[in-house]
Amino acid sequence: MTLTTHILIATAAAKPFFSVHPALVFVAAIASHYLADAIPHWDWHLSSVKEDLSDKHDHNLILEKTINVRDLLKISLDIFTGSLIAFLILRPELNIKELTPLALSIFGGILPDMLQPVFWVWKEKNPFMFIKRFHSFMHSKIYLGRHFWTAKKYIIIGKVSQTIIALLTIWLIYS
């Protein structure tokens, strides 16, 4: 899923806890990431990653400055877009009390994906591998646009369904 969609889903899921406790906001946002990944979805591709499409998901990072910079820009733009939409809907006051829950839902919503590069680089004796295994376990095995699902119709289904999910969450955040 795009990070924009993850941010919107996380904000919608965590919003009921905004005035309860920051820890609950964070937990709800992280949980929403794993649950959202369980839905078959389309994803844009990182050129910096050599993907392993087996169940092991043993991806490798390709270190090449131009591609890495381009991917980082794509990631930043994706995070910025989602955060901006969430911010514009909620319009929090510019103080710590109101910005903290929004920041935590954005951060929690993208954290599982932000941790992924750690596992592409640090493979030996990594005590946190269970996090990656849980991510892969929760992730739908239907990768629209990849693997066995590269036909154009699947890509369209993936993009349309993700747009619908994003619009639904925008409505949820509003209400």
Positions in the binding site for Zn ion (CB under 5 A):
37, 112-113
Give the shortest CB-175-to-Zn ion separation in angstroms: 26
Identify the three-state secondary structure at position 7.
Answer: helix
Q: Which is nearer to Zn ion, 18 or 28 (CB)?
A: 28
Tokens of 123: 């493979």
Report d(CA 120, CA 57) in Å as an integer: 9
Q: Which is nearer to Zn ion, 37 or 83 (CB)?
A: 37
Burial class of residue 73, CB neighbours in 10 A (0-12, 13-18, 19+) = exposed
Give the shortest CB-148-to-Zn ion separation in angstroms: 20
Report d(CA 98, CA 100) in Å as an integer: 6
Angle separating helix axes 3-14 and 22-37, nearest 10 degrees = 130
Q: Which is nearer to Zn ion, 18 or 48 (CB)?
A: 48
Give the shortest CB-1-to-Zn ion separation in angstroms: 7
23's CB contacts (< 8 A; 6+ apart) are none
Name which of 124, 136, 131, 109 is nearest 33 in CA terms.
109
Give the shortest CB-135-to-Zn ion separation in angstroms: 6
Report d(CA 104, CA 158) in Å as an integer: 27
Give the shortest CB-9-to-Zn ion separation in angstroms: 11
